[in-house]
Structure 1
Amino acid sequence: MSNTPYKTSHPYYEGPESTGQKRAWSQDTPYSREENRDLVRRQIGKLVIIPMDMPESAQYVTDMVERYHIGGVLLCRRSIRHAVDISRIVRDLQVTARKAGHSHPLFIMIEQENGMVRMRNLCWVIEKAMLIICYAQFSPFGNGDLGTQFPGALAVGAFRSSEILYDIARASAQELQSLSVNTNVAPVLNIEEQSPEGLSSRMFGDDPANVWRCTSAILDAHRSTNLVSIVKHFPAPRQGSGGILDTRNIATEPRYAPFRKAFENGVDGVLLEPTMWAASTDTTFGGKDSLPKNLIRKHLQYEGVLIGSVDKMSDDAAGRCASRGQLSIRGFVNGCDMLILCEHPHDVTDALEEIYTAVETGNITRASLEQSWERIRRVKERYLRWEEAIDPPQIHLTLQALMRRNRELSFRSYEMATTVIKDARNLLPLTKSQRQSALRQGGTCVLLTPVAPPRFPGQVGVDPFEYLGRAINARSIAVSHAPYTHEGLQETHTSLLKKANIIIFVLSLDTDPEYRSQIETMRSLARQRLVLEPPIIVITACSPRDMLPEVPFLETVVSCYEYSREALESAVSIIFGEVKATGVLPLRKSLPLNSGAPVDSFQRWEVHEWEKRRDLYASADLWKKCFGWNPSWNLNSSILSDLLDRPGNAKHYVVKDPRSHGKILGLCATYTIHAGKNLVGSMALLMVDPDFRNSGIGTALHDEAFQFMRAHPEIDSVQLGSIFPRFFPGLPELLPKEQKEWFKRRGWKIEDNFIFDLYQNITNWRPSQQDVFADLSRQGITFGVCNPGVFDSLIQFEDKHFSSYPGWVEKYRALKDTNDYADAVLAFGIVPDGQSAIVGAALVFSGAGSNKISKEVPWPKAIGDRVGGLACVGMGPEFRGRGVGIGLVCAAIIELQSRGLTGCFVDWSTDRQVYEELGFETHGKYHNMAWRKV
């Protein structure tokens, strides 16, 4: 046999291992039976995760942690039925782990994807001292009783707002942590494309960019709460000719795009599809390498934790396998760092014994075990601490408090997800007059709903669509509610339909075999509609993908994606116009071309970075269209250029009209500025063409800008408005109420106080208080302008008293760069040591000077060429309340007059009365906005 190395023409294959790996593995020797077997068990146990279903199974899990040093526990539905119990059990497990010598706390894992997920997670029921295999049908947490009910993946895929999704993910993570859960095996990053049964509603949709947008918000939220994130399910390449897996398009295939982005952003771990790790290497790279090692490690260069789950699906993927132990061995050999062993306890211990033997004989190398443990160690050291694991806070009240706080967010998020797919007759919203017209005397609304299992186990005998009927009835409409089965419409339904003035037909359970019969029943009803007068509203309380081909034959279709109470009530709010539908169908590729659906319902706007050469004049046109109604806000392209063209501390975003070359439909301007040692972000401006509002442009810009600032490693806080440069210091008070509400819905808090800009003509101005300077002189206070000799003292004064004011001290420092020392008007006084020193200062500027403030506060230049400004007025604390501030303002006005200026603009004042006493009038009034932590 030739010793020539195996060669292949595969573009991503470079041999079974790198040179460094070959060197390390060549020195690898099998464990001998004389070596410490306990060390082997410890090393292997760290790589194993076992599920815990019921609290009664905790003793078995405890024994596995103590004897076999299991590294993680996966919680299933029944095990978290009671928050207090699971917290106690988890704490006991962590205490056991530490006593048993574990170097790091256990992974306490859960698969929490929110929504109404029908997952077949393996779990155990203890009955008469026997462990019996069963399946958990629903998401284990977040059912409204234990954890807040939030929308699932497909519903949030319909959001236009990543920021709301971030808030949801953060709230959900905090609730999980209140149960001492430290790892979430979610979200699903797969693309919606004829997905396997049961997976459709767990995906974000069919657009890879939207999948990553949603994923990014969730991962950011997990990191902000110190929760480990395991995404899933990395798919194997499709089979090519001869059954060999085709990996040539791995770099460009859309379904891998979200995983590539997650890897680039350092996600903690990824759960692999069984065909990725359970298949023999003979079907991949000629027996020389496995898919995880070749595609994920070498090609995608991901060094996080790879996890496989040993269950029936993985057994099917592997083909015939003598035992689950051999399947587990194949998982470790093929590159998995950890395995979830979803088996009967006896099978788990048998599998572990087979793994021990494989290590002892060298089938599983010591080098691969050590590499896996190093990856796991990095994750555990980043997130897990013993003091928090064994002594968590008392959480049984905290969880309830979190749920009360999150309830409003839950309903708001379901409302934002609800999507009007089609409304051909402009039936929606059903206003009061339309209801009176549609529901003539004696008329009713016939509600036809499928027979569906309860929202969550334990709700036996409860029709989940009762909430829908009650919500419609609460709008003063008589409702006749009749469930239907796979047998279709019966005589009872026909008699009801004859009396109906409005028909609402509901579809659900897209993963159920009876879903096709629901669609057939809907078709039958639509055909009868040809001889029936009442309009039909179809509500899809599930993934609408399979019914989208029927959309061209329907008139009104609304999707709420789930049949939770929150989803159904949100659909009613949309139908009756109490809330505007903002959801975007996340399954656009499945929509027929002749659907007749409005384009705006499916528009996701592409956001670009602003470029001066390309976008400046279009930005000026947009400004005029958005703010031209107020003469005080008149800015031309030259002034906008000064404000927007700020390389280094500015990043702006635009949405362009795809139908018109160069036209900008929306612009968002952001800046960063130093506040002491910290860096803060400013969302300085967000404007959208009035003709294109309420179509998602503003949300797309808002989310893009906020995501940039949230991802910036040095930005701690963000403000709405800006300091330097400045358009507005906060939300203008003159903005319409609905625009202010738009920002409030995105998490911005409007405070009770206001900020003012003021202005007055100073051509003939004289101090109203003639003796102001005489009174101050008797106190030893004098005024003058700065010069190079006192500049250092001025900076020391500003640093001491105003270093925490963002951008303040920097504006004084900049005077030296432009040799504008005289732009600082100073107040001098006698300090406690008897010396004369600077006790106050103010900055003056005008468009004719070189002072940088003139290019950062646009309104003086917009008012007129001979208008100056006054900014950064401040006194030392011991001289406040003694008239020094009024003296500074008067001295500054006199200085502006001496320069031939005819107007004085005062920016950002919270004390309007002081200036009004000197003759100033309000030029702008702004809501002060609370700063947000990112």
Structure 2
Amino acid sequence: MDSSSAPSWQGPTTQDSQSCIPLSNQLKDADIILLLTPGVVPQMSPLNRDPEKPASDPFEPLGKALARHHPRVRHVPYLPRNGITGTHVVHIRLAAAVVFVISGPPRHGQPSQVALAEITKSLCEHRPQIVMTCCNVQELGALEKSFPTVIQVPSLAPLDLEDAADVLFGKSPKPRPREPHLRNLVVSPTSWPVEVWDAHHDASDIRDLWCQCTPETFHLGRHQFQSLLRRDGYAMHYVVREPGTRLVLGFCATYTTYSDSGGDRLLGSLALLLVRPSHRHRGIGLSLHNHALRQLTRTRGVCRLQLGSTFPRLLYGLPVDSPSVHWFRRRGWPVDPQSSTPGLGQEVCDWLLKFKDWPATGPMPSRLSFRPCEFPEFDAVLEFVEKESRRKDGMMGWYDQYAKLANTMNVRDIVLGFEDGVIIATALTYARNTGSTVAEDLPWASTTGDDVGGVTCVCVSDEVPNNANRRDAVMIRLLDSCIGLLANQGMSKLLIDAVKGGDEGFQSMGFQKWATYRDIWRDV
């Protein structure tokens, strides 16, 4: 059998330049080992997954394991926010050896546990100090320069902590299959503690998670992905972490955006719900989903919720081939794959067009004209978009995209359609490196290719009759003007997003489907 296919287990790793391990060679029976452990959230430990049982100190198994090797062990917690107090100093001076445990790097403004370990080292004087980390040592900096003895423990799992105690006393931990061990860390299904994401520390892990959970078509560069997530005042994201290692196991992204010009009505978006494939079916997604919905519904002004995101755009909705349709339906989302009603699971498409495939449009219909927006017309455009948005649920959040262009040169990225001089249609165009805020919110055109521009928020007035295909003529001419504008900016393709219906018409004009989603909304 190929040994590479067998389960593997990695126990504690050790650096010991002061040769104090095994501790049994350094201590007499009357000597005291002082175990200093951080006060961490009890739920970080797999010991505390059962809500029916009282929480216990995650490091209690370590103290008990040390006591099996040595008769006198004193376990004293420290709180990072309070530092090393006079009580700790007394215990340090009574001890013959000190084991200082670090749970991880500082989070959300916490003091550094490494700094507290350095203070403890100065107080230890001649006493050996062993630093034990329950995270990747590399997250903490160059520990080996400050601490001669460091033990890295894989997790807060009791078996890992017991193995660390064995290593301290020169015993070899027993090898264990890694996969069953990991599964024992969690009880499924259960309620997991949900935290607000750490934009600085979590971004890389979350992008990796995104790439694991989405097709390659949707993979984004690091900077672009982080830019979409970091929207101060409009975004709130959440994570579930693996106990001990602090690895992100699940991630949920939420946004709010204005519905109209009033500033009172907000749209909430459950934009992403990602769980590592190896940790699914354990309640992580449910914990994130329920927490995010509670927060969105408590946000003042939120009147509707979307499964997906309008702006900024990650995925417009649940992909049509997603195996999670039934999961979300059971959570109250109105998903009917056969529906043609907006918001109830109707199919929505992103379409890609190569300009060379665009057919000739023929002569301009009478009374119609199309051109880029001029600056004096901008207020009239906003008024038109707001009026049409109130009539149509499918235009949620569009007003805000137009309004963001105020007082910028990108006002001329708006293409207008007129009938007898009155605005009857609008569309937003965008291209990379033009400074457009629209391009910052819609990443997929630029990621598809450097020569791909975008068209979004296409609005044709309900007052345009459909007699003799009049509405179709307006739409075709509007797109033709968008193509001309983008071609002048060096583009040779365009992506038009979130189109409901009209498949035959788009295909007849040379468009190809790029992505397909479900349009899913619910009222608050």
What TM-score, normalized to structure 1? 0.34
Of 832, 853, 871 in structure 1, the residue corresponding to residue 438 of structure 2 is: 853
Q: For each residue in 1:26-83, what CA deviation from the matched residue of structure 2 results, as whole angstroms up to 9, or x when unmatched?
A: xxxxxxxxxxxxxxxxxxxxxxxxxxxxxxxxxxxxxxxxxxxxxxxxxxxxxxxxxx
Unaligned 5+ segments in structure 1 are 1-202, 209-596, 831-835
Q: In the TM superposition, what is the alpha-carbon distance from 1:880 to its structure 2 partner? A: 4.5
**Alpha carbons 2:259, 2:399 under 8 Å: kept:** no
**Alpha carbons 1:609, 1:651 under 8 Å: kept:** yes
Of 292, 297, 311 in structure 2, the residue corresponding to residue 710 of structure 1 is: 297
Q: For each residue in 1:240-289, what CA deviation from the matched residue of structure 2 results, as whole angstroms up to 9, or x when unmatched?
A: xxxxxxxxxxxxxxxxxxxxxxxxxxxxxxxxxxxxxxxxxxxxxxxxxx
Distance 2:51 2:244 in 1: 28
Distance 1:906 1:741 in 2: 29
| 1:877 alignment counterpart | 462
Distance 2:372 2:364 in 1: 20
Q: For each residue in 1:512-565, what CA deviation from the matched residue of structure 2 results, as whole angstroms up to 9, or x when unmatched?
A: xxxxxxxxxxxxxxxxxxxxxxxxxxxxxxxxxxxxxxxxxxxxxxxxxxxxxx
| 2:217 alignment counterpart | 632
More strand by share: 2
Matches within 5 A, 1:662-677: 663-676=247-260, 677=264
Largest Rg, 1 or 2: 1
Q: For each residue in 1:552-610, what CA deviation from the matched residue of structure 2 results, as whole angstroms up to 9, or x when unmatched?
A: xxxxxxxxxxxxxxxxxxxxxxxxxxxxxxxxxxxxxxxxxxxxx94422664221112
SS of structure 1 residue aligned to 2:253: strand
Cα distance change of structure 1 residues 803 and 819 upon mapping to structure 2, 3 Å threshold? farther
Q: For each residue in 1:450-481, what CA deviation from the matched residue of structure 2 results, as whole angstroms up to 9, or x when unmatched?
A: xxxxxxxxxxxxxxxxxxxxxxxxxxxxxxxx
List 4+ stretches of structure 1 deviating above 6 A. Answer: none
What is the letter of the counterpart of residue 276 of structure 2? D
| 1:701 alignment counterpart | 288
> How many positions carry a matched residue from both structures?
330
Distance 1:932 1:793 in 2: 31
What is the letter of the counterpart of residue 672 of structure 1? T
| 2:306 is the alignment partner of 1:719 | yes
**Alpha carbons 2:347, 2:500 under 8 Å: kept:** yes
What is the letter of the counterpart of residue 758 of structure 1? W
Of 353, 361, 373 in structure 2, the residue corresponding to residue 770 of structure 1 is: 361
| 2:177 is the alignment partner of 1:601 | no
| 1:35 alignment counterpart | none
What is the letter of the counterpart of residue 434 of structure 2? G
Q: For each residue in 1:150-194, what CA deviation from the matched residue of structure 2 results, as whole angstroms up to 9, or x when unmatched?
A: xxxxxxxxxxxxxxxxxxxxxxxxxxxxxxxxxxxxxxxxxxxxx
More helix by share: 1
| 2:331 alignment counterpart | 746
**Alpha carbons 1:758, 1:924 under 8 Å: kept:** yes
What TM-score, normalized to structure 2? 0.59
SS of structure 1 residue aligned to 2:52: coil
Matches within 5 A, 1:144-223: 205-206=52-53
SS of structure 2 residue aligned to 1:820: helix
Q: In the TM superposition, what is the alpha-carbon distance from 1:659 to its structure 2 partner? A: 4.0
What is the letter of the counterpart of residue 673 of structure 1? T
Matches within 5 A, 1:566-585: none
Q: Looking at both structures, which has the greater relative contact order when contacts are Cα pairs under 8 Å and sequence separation is at least 6?
A: 2
Distance 1:917 1:775 in 2: 19
Q: In the TM superposition, what is the alpha-carbon distance from 1:817 to its structure 2 partner? A: 3.9
What is the letter of the counterpart of residue 607 of structure 1? V
SS of structure 2 residue aligned to 1:795: helix
Of 449, 456, 473 in structure 2, the residue corresponding to residue 864 of structure 1 is: 449
| 1:569 alignment counterpart | none
Distance 1:611 1:807 in 2: 27
Matches within 5 A, 1:305-704: 598-601=184-187, 604-627=191-214, 630-661=215-246, 663-676=247-260, 677-704=264-291
Unaligned 5+ segments in structure 2 are 1-49, 56-182, 340-345
Q: In the TM superposition, what is the alpha-carbon distance from 1:788 to its structure 2 partner? A: 0.9
| 2:117 alignment counterpart | none
SS of structure 2 residue aligned to 1:789: helix
What is the letter of the counterpart of residue 897 of structure 1? A
| 1:890 alignment counterpart | 480
Distance 2:303 2:328 in 1: 20
SS of structure 2 residue aligned to 1:877: coil
Distance 1:820 1:803 in 2: 25
SS of structure 1 residue aligned to 2:256: strand
What is the letter of the counterpart of residue 491 of structure 2? L
Cα distance change of structure 1 residues 657 and 205 upon mapping to structure 2, 3 Å threshold? closer
| 2:323 is the alignment partner of 1:756 | no
Q: Percent of pairs identical after alignment?
A: 31
| 1:508 alignment counterpart | none
Q: In the TM superposition, what is the alpha-carbon distance from 1:711 to its structure 2 partner? A: 1.9
Cα distance change of structure 1 residues 687 and 791 upon mapping to structure 2, 3 Å threshold? same
SS of structure 2 residue aligned to 1:793: helix
What is the letter of the counterpart of residue 499 of structure 2? S
What is the letter of the counterpart of residue 814 of structure 1? K
What is the letter of the counterpart of residue 254 of structure 2? T
| 2:370 is the alignment partner of 1:783 | yes
**Alpha carbons 1:818, 1:850 under 8 Å: kept:** no
Q: For each residue in 1:72-111, what CA deviation from the matched residue of structure 2 results, as whole angstroms up to 9, or x when unmatched?
A: xxxxxxxxxxxxxxxxxxxxxxxxxxxxxxxxxxxxxxxx
Of 500, 505, 510 in structure 2, the residue corresponding to residue 919 of structure 1 is: 510
**Alpha carbons 1:803, 1:809 under 8 Å: kept:** no
| 2:101 alignment counterpart | none
Distance 1:880 1:915 in 2: 20
SS of structure 2 residue aligned to 1:750: coil
**Alpha carbons 2:351, 2:496 under 8 Å: kept:** yes
| 2:317 is the alignment partner of 1:733 | no
Q: In the TM superposition, what is the alpha-carbon distance from 1:636 to its structure 2 partner? A: 2.0
Cα distance change of structure 1 residues 897 and 625 upon mapping to structure 2, 3 Å threshold? same
**Alpha carbons 2:269, 2:306 under 8 Å: kept:** yes
Distance 2:267 2:400 in 1: 14
Distance 1:770 1:840 in 2: 17
Q: For each residue in 1:677-697, what CA deviation from the matched residue of structure 2 results, as whole angstroms up to 9, or x when unmatched?
A: 421211011011101111111
